[in-house]
Structure 1
Amino acid sequence: MVAAAQDVGDGRVEEVVKEGEEERRAEFCARCKEPLPLWASETPSDIDINFVRPAAAISGSSNNDLDTSMHTLPPSTPITYPISPVSDLIIHLPATTTTANGNTTVITHRYLVSSQILRVVSPVWRRHLDPTSPFRSLTTTLETISDRPHTLMTLYDDDPDTLLSVLNILHFSTSNIPITSINFGQLRSFAVLCDKYDCIHVLNPYSKVWLDEWAPVACEPGYEDWLFIAKVFGDGRNVKELERLLVEEAGSLSVCETYFLRCGRVVETGLMPEITLNKIMASRSKELTRQISIWRQFLQSFISENATKGCSNWDCVTLSYGNLIRSVEQSGLVKIFNLLEEWHGNIRDFEEKTGAIQLANGTRFHGYGWCPVENLNVGLRSKLGRPVDN
C-alpha cells in the first residue's frame, strides 16, 4: 500500500481515503444510523435477558406421542344446583378439573334456573333464550324435572362457583354471597363472567365494597388485571397510575404476544384491554427510543467533535475520554447504542445500566472548582430526565 501510494502520489492517496470513507457512509442513510466512533459494530453485548425477547408461551405438552388416556378419569356424576323453585331452564356447564395426583376429570354442573330472569338481565342470554330471537340457540333438548319441562342451555369456559354466585344473586338467594370481602381472583372471575354476558349491573349492590378493598393495591405487582376489572366495573381509581408504572416496569411483549415480564414476573395480557396494552407498549418504546437517541447524540459529539469545550488540561481530557469509553463498554449497551440490538427489558433497568456510565472530570488536575466537562455531564442527565407527561 505504501509503494502504491508513492507511485500515484499524495493526491491519489487522499482520493483513495475519501472513497473508503464514502463507501462506509453509504451504508447508512443518515448520521443517526452511523455506527458510533471508537466502538466496533460487532462488539458483543453481555449475555443478559434484557437483550432477548420473551419466548412464546408453551401451550400443552410438546410430546405428541405421550399417552394421556391413563391420566383421564371418566366424567363424574353431575352436580345439580336447584336455584329456582319454579325453574324451566337447565344450564349445563362442563368443567375440567385436575386432582392432586395429576389426573383430570370432567365435572358437569347443572343449574336449575328461571329463563325469564336470565332473559331480563342479560341481552346475551336473551338472544339464546327468546323464542322470537333470530340468534336463538339451535339446541332444543328438553328434560322433565318435577313434572316440568326444562330447556337445556350449555355454557362453556365459565367458572362454576362464580356462575353459581351470579345466578343466586339473580334469583334473590344471597345468603352465601360474600358481601364484605372477596379475594382478587374472585373479583376477576366476577368481572370476566359479567362482561361476557353483559350483566355487570347485577353486582351493583356488592361491587363497590369489593372494589374499595382492592383499588388501593392495584398498582402492586400481581394485580395488573385491575386494568380489566376497572374497565368492566367503571372504576377509574389507580388506572392511570398503573398504566404509568407498567410503561416503566414492563419489558417487550413475548413472541406470541400473550405476556410480558414486569420486573422478572410474568404478566399475562389475555384480559388487558387491547387499547390499553397498545398504549403502554407504544409509550415504553417511545421513551426507550428517546433515551437511546440522547445517548447516541452525546457519544457522537463527545468523541468525534472534541466536546470537552474549552478544557485545556490534557490529563483531564484523557481521564474523561478513557472513563467514558470504559464505562460504556462495561455497560454492555454498545449494540443498543449502535442500533444493532433492541432493549427488551424495562425502562428502569435500562436507566440503571446507563446511570452507571460515568463521565469523570479531572478537576484535581487543573486546580479550580468546576471543569467544563462537568457541564456536559449535567446537560446529559438533564436531557435524560423523563417528561412529566410520561
Structure 2
Amino acid sequence: TTAVDSQGDVMLKLTKNESTTKLLVSSKTLTLASIVFKAMFNGKFAEGQGLSTATPPEVELPDDDPVLMEMLCNITHLRASHILEDLSLSNLADFAILCDKYACVGAVYPWVKLWVQKPLSKPKQPDYEKLVLITYLMDLPQEFFTATQCLVRDRAACIDPEVAAHGHEFLPAKLL
C-alpha cells in the first residue's frame, strides 16, 4: 500500500499481471481534479458510499496501469518529489489516455507540457508519431503543430498511423 495521502478516505486497488497495488488517496482531491472521479465519489455510486479515513473503502480500477495511476495521484495530490522527470513516449501516450479517460487533462497539463519538450525536438526517434496522440489528447496545440510539422517535413515517407494512434481510435482519421 502506498499512502499518497496519509489521511486518505479511499483505497484505489489496481491489478496488473496478478500483482496488486493499493493507493490510499483523498477522494476530495481526486474530485477537484476530475469530473469522472467527482461523479464516482459524489455518493450516488457504490464507490462514493462510506468514504472514511478510519476504514477507507477499496475501489477497484482493474483496467488502469498501477504505475501511471500512482503518477496521476501524485500529481493531483501535489507530491512533486514522487513524480518522474521523464517518461518514454509509450508511457506518456498511455498516461495521456488515462488522463483523457478520467477527464483530468487540466490537472496534469503543466507536467505533460514539460515531458513532451524533450522528445518533441527529436523527430527521428522511434515512436515520434505518438506525440500526435499525446499532444492531441492533452490539448497542447502548439506542441501538436510542432509534432505534425516535423513528421510531415522530416518523416513524411515513414509515418506509421498505427504508431501514432497507439492502438486506439482517439485521433480523427483525417489527422492521419
Q: Provide the rounded CA distance (Å) in 1 between the counterparts of 2:157 and 2:41.
A: 47
Partners of 1:272 and 1:226 lie apart in 2 by 15
TM-score (normalised: structure 2): 0.79
Q: C-alpha displacement at 1:157, in angstroms?
A: 2.0
The answer to whether the aligner puts 1:119 opposite 2:10 as a matched pair is no
Structure 1-normalised TM-score?
Answer: 0.39
- CA separation of 1:192/1:139 partners in 2, compared to 1, >3 Å: closer, same or farther? same
The CA distance in 1 between the partners of 2:69 and 2:29, in whole Å, is: 14
Structure 2 equivalent of residue 193 of structure 1: 98
- 1:152, distance to aligned residue in structure 2 (A): 2.3
What number of residue pairs does the alignment pair up?
A: 171
Of 138, 151, 157, which residue of structure 2 is paired with 1:242?
Answer: 151
Identity of aligned residues (%): 24
Contact 2:68 2:95 in 1 (8 A): yes
Q: Which has the larger radius of gyration?
A: 1
Taking the aligned partners of 1:143 and 1:108, their CA distance within structure 2 comes to 21
Cα–Cα, structure 1 residues 169 and 198, in superposed 2: closer, same or farther, change >3 Å? Answer: same
From the two aligned structures, give the one with the greater helix fraction: 2
Q: Alpha-carbon deviation of 1:116? A: 0.7
- Judged with a 3 Å threshold, the aligned counterparts in structure 2 of structure 1 residues 268 and 157 are, in CA distance, closer, same or farther, namely farther
Query: Structure 1 stretches of 5 or more lacking a match?
Result: 1-79, 97-105, 254-258, 260-266, 281-390
The answer on whether the counterparts of 1:228 and 1:272 sit within 8 Å (CA) in structure 2 is no
CA contact (8 A) 1:84 1:114 kept: yes
The equivalent residue for 2:57 is 151
Query: Which 4+ stretches in 1 moved above 6 angstroms?
Result: 244-247
Q: 1:91 is matched with which residue: 4, 12, 26?
A: 12
Amino acid at match of 1:198: A
SS at match of 1:213: helix
1:110 alignment partner in structure 2: 22
Contact 2:30 2:37 (C-alpha < 8 Å) held by counterparts: yes
Q: Tell me which residue corresponds to 2:70.
A: 164
Gaps of at least 5 residues in structure 2 are: none
SS of the equivalent of 1:238 reads helix
Distance in 2 of aligned mates of 1:82 and 1:112: 5
CA drift at 1:140: 7.0
